[in-house]
Amino acid sequence: MKITGITAWILAAGVAMTACGGSSQQEPSADSASAADKSAVSHNTNAAQDTAGSLGTENQNVTGNNPPKAVELMAKSDCLTCHKVRDKLVGPSYEEISKKYKQTDIDMLAAKIIEGGSGNFGQVPMTPHPNISKEDAREMVKYILSIK
């Protein structure tokens, strides 16, 4: 069976949707989320590289400090597979998140990073990240909310 360009594109799109939760009603386990994340990166190898260079440097209108710890944590995680600073990728941009939420939402957003969820920015679910500590998730959220 010969795979055409269109068939390969459809297959890659399906894998990418699966990586960020797709339309499944079941919450993925930490193991399946990790495998899906690795699959998404293998099919979108430029996602992290496209954003990693600008994370923490593209944002010239940051209020307060630019927390280097948060930037480092986000670059080491799979955040950049689905999010960019200013542009929507699979999930909302950090700028969109910053416009929607306030400093009082830090704990709730940190829980979303750890537990995953959906419905806040459409139907594509965010995969859970149970290996990220609450403290690290809070640092990431503080940075995201500083982007204006």
User: Are the C-beta atoms of 128 and 28 separated by less than 8 Å?
Assistant: yes
Residue 90 confidence (pLDDT) above 90? yes
Phi, psi of 76 (to 5 degrees): -80, -20
What percent of the residues of the chain are helix, what percent strand, and what percent coil, each to the nearest 5? 55, 5, 40
pLDDT tens string 11-69:
444 444 444 444 334 444 444 444 444 444 444 444 444 444 456 554 444 445 554 79
Per-residue pLDDT band at 148 (split at 50, 70, 90): confident
Please give the pLDDT value at position 104.
Answer: 97
CATH of 46-146, picked from 3.90.1150.50, 3.30.800.10, 3.40.190.10, 1.10.760.10, is 1.10.760.10
Q: Has 20 been labeled as part of a binding site? A: no
Per-residue pLDDT band at 9 (split at 50, 70, 90): very low
Burial grade of 145 (CB within 10 A; 0-12, 13-18, 19 or more): buried
Q: Has 82 been labeled as part of a binding site? A: no
Residue 128 to residue 108: CA distance in whole angstroms: 14
Domain chopping of the chain, boundaries:
46-146
User: Are the C-beta atoms of 106 and 142 separated by less than 8 Å?
Assistant: yes
Q: Has 126 been labeled as part of a binding site? A: yes
pTM (two decimals): 0.59
